Structures are given as structure tokens and as C-alpha cells.
Amino acid sequence: MTQAITDPKQASAALAELFSTHKRVVFFGGAGVSTASGIPDFRSVDGLYHQQFAYPPETMLSHSFYEAHPAEFFDFYRTKMIALGAKPNRCHTKLAELERAGKLSAVVTQNIDGLHQMAGSKHVFELHGSVHRNICQSCGTVYSAEWICSREHEDAAGVPVCPACGGRIKPDVVLYEEPLDEHVLTGAVAAIAAADALIVGGTSLVVYPAAGLTRYFTGDTLAICNLAPTDQDANADLLISCDIAAAFAFWPARADTIERLIAKRPRRLLPSAAARAF
């Protein structure tokens, strides 16, 4: 039976219990993880896909658009995809803390903002790449997001060029019409398959193939933390519908604190994976 929670304090207590009763927890996150850091998501009412641009965002974020309209692509990339002022929120920092404490095995993220690494997470699988890596297609030199935004080396149309060789720069992000990186995908699948608990957070689970990775989970407990419903809600043991940063505002990684927190609420037995149909 699914436990549904909307109160952030109750959500924090439930997540604290999950981390205290599982040994191999993996977090699978999407754009909703970074909204508390000031980065808009894509599909909510205020998301990028509901804003007006000269071209639809899905078009501008395609490989063919990058090839045919590089000036328009980089204008959108600089202004809408790179957020240099964004800082990790409570969800990012808590996940990094849990990893250091040996409570979290890996983060699998659809985000390209690098906030998990900025918070201190080490074992991160970036399914869609990162804006912090921008690679010359001729010599392979890697440039930062800061370099892209500085606009120090551009052609007459405003397209960044490599100062080392004059080659064309491409962000190390997965655009529409491009496959996911095989090495990253393999690592993410292995982490999810080995998990005894999977937390899905801040994602509507509609972007494939990334959303399909949840089918590799065969562990004990599936938790979904998202403001809007997802197609996988019926499979969840724990369903949290509140701000994800608030939900992750729980205990420091100390065993005595964990025990005190858990003692305040009755233990709940979660149904096993065998009782769910994926």
C-alpha cells in the first residue's frame, strides 16, 4: 500500500527512516530538484516550454538546430540553459552529506547544471551531460560555462570558437536527436539495479530514455517525490508531494539523531518489489 505524504515535516521523517533502513539508496532526479535554486523547470506552468520564443524550446535544443542555426542556439543556451549564479539547495547538500556518510550509493540526474557536484556529491551520473563542459569539435579542448558566457572568442555571428585552433564549440549536453552517453547510461543502470531503495525526485518521468531507467529497479522500496503526479505513482511505496528541498531538510548523518527521529513515529512495513507490477 502506498503511503502518500504532502506535509514537508512528515516527508522528512519518512525519508529519514528510508535512509536508516536501507543500505544501497540511489537518487534519480530531474529539473524539479533545481527549481529551489532558481533554475526553471521545463513542463510546469512557469517552465521553459510554456514561455514564448522565436522557436519552440524543443526545436532550439535539437542537434539539427545547433547545426543549422548556431547563433540562435548559443543565444538560447547562454541565456536559458546556463545559470552561473545558481547555488545548491537543501536537496543537493543533503544528498552530498548522505553520500559522505555512506548512506547514498549514487545520484542519477537528468539535470545539466552541475549543482550536485557543487554541493559535494562525487558519484553522479549526468544522463544529459553538463553545461560546465563545452568541447571544441576539432582539438577537443574543454571550456567552462563561464568561458561561454564571457563571449571573449566568438565569430561575427556570436558563435563561440576555439581560441586554440578556431574550431567549433559544442556543449557537452545531450540534445534532442542525440543518444545518451553509453558509459554514463551503463553506470546509471548498474547503480539503479543494485539499489535496495530508489528515490525519484523532481521529475515527471516523461523524458525517455532517461525515464525508462526506473524499470531496472528491483529493490525493496520505491519513493517518488514530485509536486505533480507521474505515471509511476501507482508503483510507489512512498509518494511525497511537496517541495523537495523542504522534504530533504532532515537529520544530520548521525546514528543517535536517526534513532531519536524514528522513535517518534510508528514503524511501517513497506511492500516488497514482488508486490508491484512494473
| Cα separation, 33 vs 48, whole angstroms | 15
* Count of beta carbons in the 10 Å neighbourhood of residue 158: 13
| Catalytic residue (one of 50, 128, 132, 183) | 128
- DSSP H or E stretch at residue 76: helix 70-76
Task: Give yes or no: 50 in active site.
Answer: no
- How far, in Å, are 9, 181, 222 from residue 276 at the CA level? 27, 30, 10
Asked if 115 and 37 touch (Cβ cutoff 8 Å), the reply is yes
| Cα separation, 275 vs 23, whole angstroms | 21
Quick check: helix, strand or coil at residue 40?
coil
| Cα separation, 12 vs 267, whole angstroms | 15
**Cell numbers found for residue 71:** 547563433
- Burial tier of 24 (Cβ tally within 10 Å: 0-12, 13-18, 19+): middle
Backbone angles phi, psi at 212, to 5 degrees: -75, -10
Provide the annotated active-site residues.
128
